[in-house]
Amino acid sequence: MRIIKPFLLFIMVTWVTFCESKKHNKGSFHLDVKDSLENVDPKKQNAMIWEKENITESLFTLEKERSQIECTENGTIKVELTMTVLVKDNPSNVLLCVNHLNQEKQRTEQECQQFKYLKSQAGYVTSIQLNCIYNVIEGDKIHVTVVGTDMINRYRVFNRLLMYYI
C-alpha cells in the first residue's frame, strides 16, 4: 500500500499537468451574424466571416478581416465544420471547402463537400459536417469558402468551426 499511494499521486499529478497543457489547444468560431452569405459571386470561392466563440487564449488567432484563422504553433490539427443553411434556389453545384494555406510550401490544401439539400417552404435547407486533419506550422492559415448560389445563415448556432491540436 505504501508503494501504491505515491504511484497514484504521480499518476494524478501527471494527468492534471497534461490536461492543463492541453487546456487552450482548441479554437471555437461561429459565423458572423452580419454575414448572411447572400449576394456572393456563384462562380468564385467566397470566404466566410467568423467570430471567436470564446475569449480565452487559444492556439488560433482570428485575423483582422476575420475570414482567416492563423495557427500559432507547429503540429497536427483537426478541423470540424458544421453548417446548416437555407438556399433560396438552384441548390446544385454548391461546394463548401476548408482550405489550409501552407506558408512553408506556398500551396493550399483543400477539402470540399457538395451540399445536399432538402426542399422546404422557404427554399432548400441543408446540414453539412466536414472534418479535416492537417499538419501545420506556425503561421499557416485556415479559411472556409463557399462556391455556388446565395445562402442565408439562418441557423447561426449550428454554424461552427472547431479547430484543435491533436
Per-residue model confidence (pLDDT) at position 126: 76
Going by C-alpha positions, the residue among 36, 34, 35 that lies closest to residue 152 is 36
Whether residue 16 lies inside any domain: the answer is: no
Summarize pLDDT for 72-90 with one digit per residue, the tens. Answer: 999 999 999 888 777 766 6
CATH code where residue 146 lies: 2.60.120.40
Q: Return the higher-pLDDT residue of 37 and 106.
A: 106
Least confident of 24-33, 77-86, 92-101: 24-33
- Domain hosting 84: range is 25-165
Whether residue 4 lies inside any domain: the answer is: no
Q: Output the average pLDDT for the chain.
A: 76
Whether residue 13 lies inside any domain: the answer is: no
Whether residue 8 lies inside any domain: the answer is: no
Helix (H) or strand (E) holding 40: none
Per-residue model confidence (pLDDT) at position 85: 75
Per-residue model confidence (pLDDT) at position 14: 44
Give the number of domains in the chain: 1
Whether residue 17 lies inside any domain: the answer is: no
Per-residue model confidence (pLDDT) at position 16: 41
Q: Which grid coordinates belong to 114?
A: 457538395
Instruction: Answer yes or no: is pLDDT of 18 > 90.
Output: no
Whether residue 5 lies inside any domain: the answer is: no
Whether residue 6 lies inside any domain: the answer is: no
Whether residue 12 lies inside any domain: the answer is: no
The sign of the dihedral angle between the CA atoms of 87, 93, 96, 99 is negative
Q: Return the higher-pLDDT residue of 11 and 155.
A: 155
Q: What Rg, from alpha-carbon coordinates, does the chain have?
A: 19
Summarize pLDDT for 114-158 with one digit per residue, the tens. Answer: 877 777 777 777 778 889 999 999 999 999 988 776 666 666 666
pTM: 0.74
